[in-house]
Amino acid sequence: MDFNDPTYFLDINGLSKHIGGQDYDYNETNPGIGITRETVNDKVVKALMAGVYENSFEDTSAYAGGHIAKRFGDDYYLDLGVSGGLITGYDDNALTPMAALMAQVGKKGLGRLKFQYVPSIESKQPALLMMNAGYEF
């Protein structure tokens, strides 16, 4: 496979952990589905993604964004980088920006697990750890 050819993933969104938000009972099971288009060139991973999921307030959220990361490894790999985008379903369904640190581990031709970490925003939002699985197709 030429590294400039895109790889597509079916994303199964699923879990989150709120760190420091003890005053609210957040939903931490977040089922959803999405798609990611990813390219790798000289060990730099660039991706575009979009999908929907049940958010931490049990409302439906839609998202669109991307990530950029450095790849370590080949057949089995670790990607470390940042992700960002826009999400609906919060603050009266307005578009909400999101930025996160991102790590994913995977196996070419099979899939990957992606972890994202959003730091706390003062008292407005606790820190958040998210996980999803992506199946290559």
Sign, CA dihedral 108-109-113-116, equals positive
How high is the pLDDT of residue 23? 72
pLDDT in tens, 73-120: 999 999 999 999 999 998 776 899 999 999 999 999 999 999 999 998
CA–CA separation, 25 and 41 (whole Å):
42
* Global pTM exceeds 0.85: yes
**SS3 call for 3:** coil
Distances (CA, A) of 100 to 29, 42, 84: 19, 23, 6
The CATH number of domain 7-136, selected from 2.40.128.120, 2.40.160.20, 3.40.50.450, 1.20.1050.40 = 2.40.160.20
Give me the mean pLDDT over the 124-129 stretch.
Answer: 85
How high is the pLDDT of residue 22? 67
pLDDT in tens, 26-73: 889 999 999 999 999 999 999 999 999 999 889 999 999 999 999 999
Domain ranges of the chain: 7-136
CA–CA separation, 34 and 48 (whole Å):
11
Q: Maximum Cα–Cα distance for the chain, whole Å?
A: 50
**Between β-strands 76-90 and 7-19, what pairing exists: parallel, antiparallel or unpaired?**
unpaired
